Amino acid sequence: MTRRRGLCYSAWAVERFDAVVIGSGFGGAIPALRLAEAQRKVLVLEKGRRPAPRELRFSWDPRYLQTLQRFYLTDDYLAFFQSAMTMGGGSVVYAGAMLRAPSEAFDFQDRDGQRLWPKGVDRAAMDPYYAKVEEAMQVRQARWDEVPKAGGVFAMLLSNLGLSCDRGRFPFVGCLQCGFCEAGCQFGRNQTLLRNYIPAAEQLGAQFRAGADARSIEPYDGGYRVLYRDAMGAAREAWGKVAVVAAGAIESAALLLRSAQALGGVSLHLGKHLSNNGDVAWYWMLPEGKFPPFELWRGRNNAVMITYAFWREHRLTIHTGCGPPALIGALDIRREAGAGSLAFGLEHKRLMSALYRGRMVGGIAIGLVHGDGEVQIDSRGNPKVLFPMTPELSAYTGRVMGVARSIAEANGAEVLAVVREGAPLGGAHQLSTCRMGDDPARSVVDAGGEVNGRPGLFVSDAGALPGGTGVNPALTVAANAERIAEQIIARHP
Ligand SMILES: Cc1cc2nc3c(=O)[nH]c(=O)nc-3n(C[C@H](O)[C@H](O)[C@H](O)COP(=O)(O)OP(=O)(O)OC[C@H]3O[C@@H](n4cnc5c(N)ncnc54)[C@H](O)[C@@H]3O)c2cc1C
Ligand code: SF4
């Protein structure tokens, strides 16, 4: 009998598999399928439940959203992160932008001038894996008639400055533009992992267990024993010759930190280098009557258009942000022209009702920055997120807002900031807490995703990406998971 944090795990009840995968998002579902195809007996433990389409709702009520997502607030209340907590992971609640990272993202260096991505992992090496995911998930460029009006207004803002933008790529088939992607697509138009990788793996015998919360991992009998709580709260354990950690950048780090003692020590880099992929968001307040009528919430949650016009000079891309009324109502939206915080009260209400329908359009920048955040665990083993506003992040945010202002000025618009001055944003694109690398002294996992000094233990999710992607990261997480799956199979026949 093993005792862990008040739970009893009985050794006789250990179920045995070739591979135990923790998490069913991009980093987990993809290796699960590839391992099942290689005739491995696979168990996937997923903390979230498996929502039936009829359970999904047109709702931005945080109580509903928390049935599919998890929110993390930093201790100083300045930054917040959100991630998926459902079978299928981020693919079920994301906005669906699936973009290949530009080549330069793979050449990004740490502060000592060392390339962050392992040798040989560059855009050319990733392209076949990108193509594999795009085919499996039916990712394609949005058609012109699929661009929401907010995306069209974004294009006009850029065009008035002589800049171009283009339509992004999505795994949506027959999208109805209802505007609730991040609440879960009720119409089955988003080709989530629940419609491709997961059922394909299940057909080959892989078991996906919903409501299974992995608490720790320990070396055992030539493989790894994963201690978890099942959907009824009972303590259970599963053994795998190989264990694949893919619980998302925050939860994977927390799980490995909880397991540090049992694993006989972990890298000093575990949990460190948390990056938000350089996300910075704002809104433009448009001048009255100069742009065609549109409503911010109509269409997809990502209004499709993206510009690479600032990539060469600033290493950042900007895509159109939308925003449901509930989110806009909760943001600390401020006019830069000295009107102060407008997050609450009558003044905020009046401004939003005047602007929301046709005079506000959002911008979200993504760029290359060093990750200086950290995931730690509290006394109960739960993740604690630190995300300080470092001088580098502050300078980067200043550059981004400068770009946002230059677009505003060329259009007679005004920038509305969405976070307090001096506060970092956080976001939904967290990366790099278990980063890959060639040098074990600077990384947690090697180029194949295997934990340094722990053969058979892999990390294959966003935590393994060593640097930002310059665009929304899901496709790169997924392609990297395809690449790591190959390594798992080759290294552990
Ligand atoms: C609202 C939202 C919108 C987004 N929009 C976009 C977008 O448009 N484009 C884009 O590129 N990216 C987007 N992202 C980010 C994208 O979803 C993530 O980068 C991606 O899902 C990361 O994949 P992953 O495998 O690392 O983690 P996830 O996909 O989050 O999967 C991790 C899974 O592990 C499970 N888990 C966690 N802890 C445990 C545990 N202890 N035991 C068992 N299971 C566990 C979680 O429930 C989750 O299902 C968005 C994210 C959110 C939240
Ligand atoms: S906008 Fe399209 S993909 Fe998003 S929830 Fe509606 S139908 Fe689904």
pLDDT tens figures, 100-157: 999 999 999 999 999 999 999 999 999 999 999 999 999 999 999 999 999 999 999 9
Mean local confidence (pLDDT), 375-401: 94
Residue 78: per-residue pLDDT = 85
Distance 83 CA to ligand 1 centre (A): 5
Higher pLDDT, 418 or 399: 399
Ligand 2, atom 4: nearest CA belongs to which residue? 181
In angstroms, rounded to a whole number, what is the distance separating the alpha carbons of residues 156 and 146? 16
Residue 425: per-residue pLDDT = 80
Distance 96 CA to ligand 2 centre (A): 9
- Yes or no: say if 320 and 407 are a contact pair by the CB < 8 Å rule: no
Q: Report which bound ligand comes closest to the CA of 297.
A: 2
pTM: 0.95
Confidence of residue 310 (pLDDT cuts 50, 70, 90): very high
Q: Three-state SS for 334?
A: strand
Cα angle for residues 14, 15, 21 (degrees, 5° grid):
110
Higher pLDDT, 327 or 212: 212
Whether 177 lines ligand 2, by a CB cut-off of 6 Å, is yes
Residue 20 reports pLDDT greater than 60 = yes
As a whole-number percent, the residues of the chain with pLDDT over 90 amount to 81
What is the distance, to the nearest Å, from the Cα of residue 358 to the centroid of all Cα atoms in its chain? 29
- Tell me the two tokens of residue 370: 């060093």
Distance 88 CA to ligand 1 centre (A): 8
- Yes or no: say if 198 and 24 are a contact pair by the CB < 8 Å rule: yes
Whether 300 lines ligand 2, by a CB cut-off of 6 Å, is yes
Residue 418: per-residue pLDDT = 81
Which one of 296, 300, 301, 304 would you pick to mutate in the ligand 2 pocket, going by the greatest count of ligand atoms within 8 A of its CB? Answer: 300
Residue 325: per-residue pLDDT = 67
Residue 436: per-residue pLDDT = 98
Mean local confidence (pLDDT), 342-354: 71
Residue 258 reports pLDDT greater than 80 = yes
424 phi, psi to nearest 5 deg: -80, 165
